Structure 1
Amino acid sequence: MKQRFRLGVDAGGTFTDFVLAEKDGPLRLFKSPSTPDDGTRAIAAGLQQMAEALDMSASQIVQNCDLCINGTTVALNALIELKGVKVGLLCTAGHEDSIEIRLGHKEEGYRYDASYPPAPQLVPRQLRRAVRGRVLSDGSVHEPLNEDDILAAIEVFRAEQVQSVAISFVWSVRNQAHERRARELVEQHLPGVFVCCGSEVYPQVREYTRTSTTVVNAYLSPVMGRYVQRIDQFFAEHGARAPVRYYQSNGGLALGTVMRERAVNAINSGPASAPQAGLYIAKPFGIDNVITVDMGGTSFDITLAKGGQTQLNRNFDFLRHRIGVPMIHVETLGAGGGSIAHINTFGMLEVGPHSAGATPGPACYGKGGEQATVTDGNLALGYLRPNAVLGGTIRLDQDKARSAIAANVAEPLGISVEKAAFGINTLVNMNMANGIRRISIEQGYDPRDFALICAGGATGMHITALAEELGVETVLVPKSASCLCAFGQVISDVKYNFLASAPMRLHREADLAELNRLFADMEQRGRQLLLDDGFDAADIRVHRSVEMRYMGQIHECTVDIAGGELGAASVDAILAAFHARHEALFTYSEPHNPVELVNLECTLTGLVDKPALPSLAQDADSIRDAHDGFRPMLFDDSGRWVETPVYRGEQLLAGSRIVGPAAIEEPTTTVVIRPGWQAELHTSGTYKLTRWAE
């Protein structure tokens, strides 16, 4: 850190989280209610809290920050709520309906459901305009571009008051000339309208994926652009010394100028920082395989990192829209503290995906909610302190929680409130465990080889039960768990992804000169961006990967490869890595079959200085002063309550060892340690939870 502070801002749907890291000082956490209509109001409220805590003005804090980093759900919420701008599409004649045909794809679980509705279309049929002109797969022009078609489409867009235009022509990745000319014409005749081209947004093979990604980018970029402009202006008015950085879905930072043009890169801006934070938290323990789980009020987000590398998704469906650009793989479930427990039409208990939200919220909030939720279940089981105050204003009412569980679950099933509460807890745990299996086992990873990282305010009450279900032996719970994504922002690097397409059979006699040229071009562009951004050459890292498949396959495997000039020996290493990855994913490989290279990716990273983790004083005897009595808790369906010791986390020092059953109450989260588990507080401010035997 070059200045006194570094500020991370994670703007969520309900709360905006702030982490203020001080050079050679403490890590401070703040929260303020989110203001979706104008994010600067929530940031101003958070800065005011910091000003009061530090006895400084908000401007002084901003001026003493080397980096101000913003993660936001603006793009995600606009896509969820379908509140982007009106988009027009210019596409190759005959391909007007490719984004609606969707390669004939129907989501898993609905393949044979004729009643399942079609995916929503971001561009209505009348705004998808055909353009004659054709480029072939080798880049040659088969038919000249028909500019009259483009001009006619522009008149339609003007009459329809289109605010954004997406351009995606067939094989534009092999020859961009037609797309560039179309862009010139749109910018000339529709000044002020946002324009983006598929060959720039997603320059890789797959026409449907490229068109869909470009349409999503066009749909969101004006919305993101307005948000970025307000945030940039806000920090500039407070005297920021450096431009604001924005968190990207690929797990890195970028300037606002980039985000205004590539809003598709900001869809998972919030949870994408979780694996970086998880790896940093795990580093003092020598752990580099982590699964980070974040349970909030509405959702449960899961991310995975293997060998210190985060897991990226490419060419996948997000909210039923195909996205091609790399994004941190985030598995999201409707399993949060506000998830509603109900009896379905078959007379069985279900939990989620619908949520009571913050208003009216769980029944125990006393704000008018009458439905039973996960939080009500945790309160009824004794995991939460009765009458505890959340957020300074909400007092938990155990009687209301029990009444809601009785009316909505226990009485319809003819069971006790205790059994119903335990059933709610068990079912949501199973849902979350299945989500973790989808991001691990179904991707070729064994969760037993990973540590679970606890994030979010609600996860601590479920984390040891999840670990038991998955066979995980180590759990890490940082004191900063409730703001872990904001923490992940302040320790993240600046990152740019570059994509290219190079379809060819890969063997020793392949056109390696073309591959070397493409990689060199991507690396040169990335290095220049980072050098212009103030990074030294020594702080720039390059990572390469390729998408490959056996001839005849329709899906590719992503394989990491070494840098440097590619030669015959490099080809052998790449092929060996592909066969190994294919076997890890699908349990078999075919070394005797020819392999096809499809797409290339190059990631350039500018390393930033990382703030240090806390350094707690050592005193194993602090457990005596931290002990805060006992509370009855229920850990199984036997109905046997266990008098469980409770500890105040703020008074625990490093070396404290707590044997379960127990509960540790931190200011923003509660950690429930089930029987058979123990927790030890590390000097870095993280609880390490492991199994123990009597």
Structure 2
Amino acid sequence: MGTLINIDNGGTLTDICVWDGGAFTFTKTLTTPHDLSECLFSGIEKASTALYGAADTTRLLHATEHIRYSTTQGTNALVQRRGPMIGILTTLDTLDTRMQNTAAEEKLFTGLVADRFLTIDPEAEDFDFDAVQRVNRLTTLGAARVVIAAGSADEERRLRHILLRKFPRHLLGSVPLLYSWELAGDRDDARRVWSCVVNAFLHPTMERFLYGAERRLQDYKVVNPLLVYRNDGASSRVAKSVALKTYSSGPRGGLEGTAAMAKVYGLSHALMMDIGGTTTDVGVVEDGSVAVSDRGAIEGVQISYPMSDVSSAGVGGSSVIQVIDGNITVGPQSVGAAPGPACFGFGGKQATITDVNLLLGVLDADTYLDGTFTLDASRSRAVITETIAAPLGISLEEALIRMEHAYFQALSASFAHLVGDGTTLLAFGGAGPMSATGAARLAGVKKVLVPRTAAVFSAFGISFSDIGKTYEVLIDEPSAAAARATHGALLARAERDMFQEGYALADCQTTWQLLVENPDDATVSQLPYEPGDEVDYPGAVVSLRLNAAAPLPHPNLEADVPMSPLAAPAQGTRAVRSTADRIDDVTVHVLDELSPGHTGAGPAIIEGPFFTARVLPDWSFRVTAAGDLMLTDNH
């Protein structure tokens, strides 16, 4: 098999994980917001250096069978409201009211749609004229994209015929029109239109970047197309991907990696904590399975597609720590990679936990990102003094301790409600291992697993994905005949789409399900389906779902077996502040110099590949057979 490159592009750092069929090689690079393809290719170049001893991007790309790419850019764009203004034209009465039943829906509606919402009477005598006038009005109000929503697909096709004739696509002034029934065959109007609104908002950002990256790959004469990793755990080529499915795709990679680790370590309840630059993503793997909702939610707003149950909190390595009304707060604002934390030296003027850990002594200014980047402590000192210590009237040392505690509390609050008996916390992301034991203790978690690949774990998790498609079509009048006809139509679509991905459907794994939704409580039952099965569910909304996957090779992880304990060798000590008036000499270990079975106790610092793990007092650690870190709270 060829090499597989997995990339997870975050707001602050971009992770690259290369699997050659036998071993992983990984690296990190700073995200370049001005041109995201720049960090993508600089990361691939760094990976080639790690593989071959010298940079050779062309050699690595030509040895690669697939590049699977996940990005938080859509997620970050939505959080920061960086995208086009969306308009809605609908024939549905009270749709705006139904789309704003909750505070979360009201907030998102205000941010994406606002007053750009107009209705039209489908029975009006001048329907054609009214439709044109309303689209013109929406564009005058600032809409850059317009969602067309009607009560049926036929009614939307009528509007499409009118608007395509009046606004030909070849005209420069034409505005992209998106039809809700084309995106989702969901009978719930509000949910379907919300899916279309969010997709319309994300589409330009994702399209611009992904096609730009694909064009740069073509400059290297790469034959296989760039694959986009999706939030359903599968990948597909750029031209066959829906922008909505890129939302929260990175956390899904983390969940897939968590599921793989949970099986190896026999964890019945694994809780992932992925701390990136902007957010902390939390999800649960129970008995080795990723928890998935049939109707996912984005910022608390339900959509028509399934999504993994991941919650995101605005707490990351680049989250702004500031004083508001006399209290230290953490996030949700983030300095990202540009300007980044003050210690990056790119002009950042706001304090972050990265600055705090540098001044506490947890981070070594000269070994950050494996020594490829030097941190500036003087800038951190100046920013924290100005924005935290001075406003509170306290010393810099006291400010650092309070900021650290506020950060631990914010992290703990993001997952404490999911903790149960026997929960093991998997801590990863660039900042995860550094803060895991502090947050875990506050949440009552006694075991923390830090993978050796923690710094690039979401990219690592993408290694367990296949190339796949998911289809879901509403059966308007449920019957065995209607279901069979829908089955035939989906089969034809899947054959065409998988062929365009480079695979015959006959060589793919396929599963069919009937989704039976109870309109009273919106619960969904999933039932296996075979052509000819009876479909008789009075009063229910019935859909047919097809999952088609072309399997790719997956890594085999090393099992955790008992090892004879040995005292972990230390590289030296580091002066780390534990209170405002106390500094301790803390033992420093280097993970690459430790072997399976090595053990130690806190306080300690373990320098891993591109991450720093902190072992607080009363915690112990052991290196597992696979080279991961298992931390235990003995308090």
Check whether the contact 2:448–2:631 (CA below 8 A) recurs between aligned residues.
yes
Check whether the contact 1:293–1:452 (CA below 8 A) recurs between aligned residues.
yes
TM alignment of 1:123-202, pairs within 5 A: 125=116, 128=118, 130=120, 132=122, 146-147=127-128, 149-150=130-131, 164-170=145-151, 172=152, 176-188=153-165, 189-192=167-170, 194-202=176-184
For 1:608 and 1:59, the matched residues in 2 are separated by: 23
Say which SS state the counterpart of residue 190 (structure 1) adopts: coil
For 2:209 and 2:392, the matched residues in 1 are separated by: 48
Partner of 1:66: 65
User: Shift in Å at residue 648 of structure 1?
Assistant: 1.2
Partner of 1:661: 603
Check whether the contact 1:650–1:666 (CA below 8 A) recurs between aligned residues.
yes
> Which of 8, 11, 15 is the aligned partner of 1:10?
8
Say which SS state the counterpart of residue 16 (structure 2) adopts: strand
Change in 2 beyond 3 A, CA 1:339/1:36: closer
Say which SS state the counterpart of residue 627 (structure 1) adopts: coil
Q: Does residue 606 in structure 1 map to residue 550 in structure 2?
A: yes
Q: In the alignment, residue 486 of structure 1 is paired with which amino acid?
A: A
Partner of 2:403: 424
TM alignment of 1:437-476, pairs within 5 A: 437=416, 440=418, 446-476=419-449
For 1:299 and 1:218, the matched residues in 2 are separated by: 23
Q: Does residue 120 in structure 1 map to residue 102 in structure 2?
A: no
User: Shift in Å at residue 59 of structure 1?
Assistant: 2.6
Q: Does residue 542 in structure 1 map to residue 485 in structure 2?
A: no
Change in 2 beyond 3 A, CA 1:545/1:417: farther
For 1:242 and 1:82, the matched residues in 2 are separated by: 33
Check whether the contact 1:75–1:220 (CA below 8 A) recurs between aligned residues.
yes
Check whether the contact 2:320–2:332 (CA below 8 A) recurs between aligned residues.
yes
Please give the per-residue CA displacement for 1:74-105, whole angstroms capped at 9, x wherever unaligned. Answer: 4334434544446554421645xx34763443
Q: Does residue 287 in structure 1 map to residue 253 in structure 2?
A: no
> Which of 523, 541, 548 is the aligned partner of 1:557?
523
> Which of 302, 315, 319 is the aligned partner of 1:339?
319
Q: Does residue 34 in structure 1 map to residue 15 in structure 2?
A: no
Check whether the contact 2:77–2:83 (CA below 8 A) recurs between aligned residues.
yes
Say which SS state the counterpart of residue 197 (structure 2) adopts: helix
For 1:16 and 1:250, the matched residues in 2 are separated by: 21
Q: In the alignment, residue 71 of structure 1 is paired with which amino acid?
A: S
For 2:140 and 2:101, the matched residues in 1 are separated by: 32
Check whether the contact 2:85–2:112 (CA below 8 A) recurs between aligned residues.
no
Change in 2 beyond 3 A, CA 1:121/1:23: closer
User: Shift in Å at residue 460 of structure 1?
Assistant: 0.8
User: Shift in Å at residue 264 of structure 1?
Assistant: 1.7
Say which SS state the counterpart of residue 225 (structure 1) adopts: helix
> Which of 618, 622, 627 is the aligned partner of 1:676?
618
Say which SS state the counterpart of residue 690 (structure 1) adopts: strand
For 2:214 and 2:390, the matched residues in 1 are separated by: 54
Identity of aligned residues (%): 24
Change in 2 beyond 3 A, CA 1:513/1:489: same
User: Shift in Å at residue 664 of structure 1?
Assistant: 0.5
User: Shift in Å at residue 618 of structure 1?
Assistant: 12
Check whether the contact 2:507–2:550 (CA below 8 A) recurs between aligned residues.
no
Change in 2 beyond 3 A, CA 1:154/1:674: closer
Check whether the contact 1:278–1:453 (CA below 8 A) recurs between aligned residues.
yes
User: Shift in Å at residue 273 of structure 1?
Assistant: 1.6
User: Shift in Å at residue 647 of structure 1?
Assistant: 0.4
Q: In the alignment, residue 270 of structure 2 is paired with which amino acid?
A: V
> After the TM superposition, which of the residue ranges 234-243 and 207-216 deviates more from structure 2?
234-243
Change in 2 beyond 3 A, CA 1:518/1:304: farther
Check whether the contact 1:18–1:30 (CA below 8 A) recurs between aligned residues.
yes
For 1:124 and 1:302, the matched residues in 2 are separated by: 34
For 2:480 and 2:443, the matched residues in 1 are separated by: 44
TM-score by length of 1: 0.77
For 1:662 and 1:527, the matched residues in 2 are separated by: 55
> Which of 265, 268, 273 is the aligned partner of 2:245?
265
User: Shift in Å at residue 622 of structure 1?
Assistant: 8.6
User: Shift in Å at residue 671 of structure 1?
Assistant: 0.7
User: Shift in Å at residue 642 of structure 1?
Assistant: 4.3
Say which SS state the counterpart of residue 571 (structure 2) adopts: strand
User: Shift in Å at residue 357 of structure 1?
Assistant: 3.9
TM-score by length of 2: 0.84
Partner of 1:579: none
Partner of 1:578: none
User: Shift in Å at residue 225 of structure 1?
Assistant: 2.9
Partner of 2:198: 216
Change in 2 beyond 3 A, CA 1:254/1:370: closer
Q: Does residue 627 in structure 1 map to residue 618 in structure 2?
A: no
Change in 2 beyond 3 A, CA 1:12/1:405: closer
Check whether the contact 2:563–2:625 (CA below 8 A) recurs between aligned residues.
no
For 1:159 and 1:107, the matched residues in 2 are separated by: 27
Say which SS state the counterpart of residue 120 (structure 2) adopts: strand
Q: In the alignment, residue 167 of structure 1 is paired with which amino acid?
A: I
Change in 2 beyond 3 A, CA 1:75/1:631: closer
Partner of 2:279: 299
Q: Does residue 232 in structure 1 map to residue 214 in structure 2?
A: yes
Please give the per-residue CA displacement for 1:622-676, whole angstroms capped at 9, x wherever unaligned. Answer: 966x5111234456x6966543211012212222222333210124111111233
> Which of 440, 450, 459 is the aligned partner of 1:477?
450
Taking only aligned residues, the RMSD between alpha carbons, in angstroms, comes to 4.1
Q: In the alignment, residue 8 of structure 2 is paired with which amino acid?
A: D
> Which of 322, 328, 333 is the aligned partner of 1:349?
328
Check whether the contact 1:100–1:121 (CA below 8 A) recurs between aligned residues.
no
Say which SS state the counterpart of residue 330 (structure 2) adopts: strand
> After the TM superposition, which of the residue ranges 513-522 and 466-475 deviates more from structure 2?
513-522
Say which SS state the counterpart of residue 107 (structure 1) adopts: helix
Q: Does residue 644 in structure 1 map to residue 586 in structure 2?
A: yes
> After the TM superposition, which of the residue ranges 9-18 and 390-399 deviates more from structure 2?
390-399
User: Shift in Å at residue 428 of structure 1?
Assistant: 1.7
TM alignment of 1:81-96, pairs within 5 A: 81-85=80-84, 89-92=88-91, 94=93
For 1:371 and 1:78, the matched residues in 2 are separated by: 21
Q: In the alignment, residue 328 of structure 2 is paired with which amino acid?
A: L
Change in 2 beyond 3 A, CA 1:401/1:238: closer
Structure 1 gaps of 5+ residues are 134-142, 441-445, 505-509, 575-593
User: Shift in Å at residue 372 of structure 1?
Assistant: 3.9
Say which SS state the counterpart of residue 495 (structure 1) adopts: strand
For 1:117 and 1:536, the matched residues in 2 are separated by: 39
Check whether the contact 1:620–1:653 (CA below 8 A) recurs between aligned residues.
no
Structure 2 gaps of 5+ residues are none
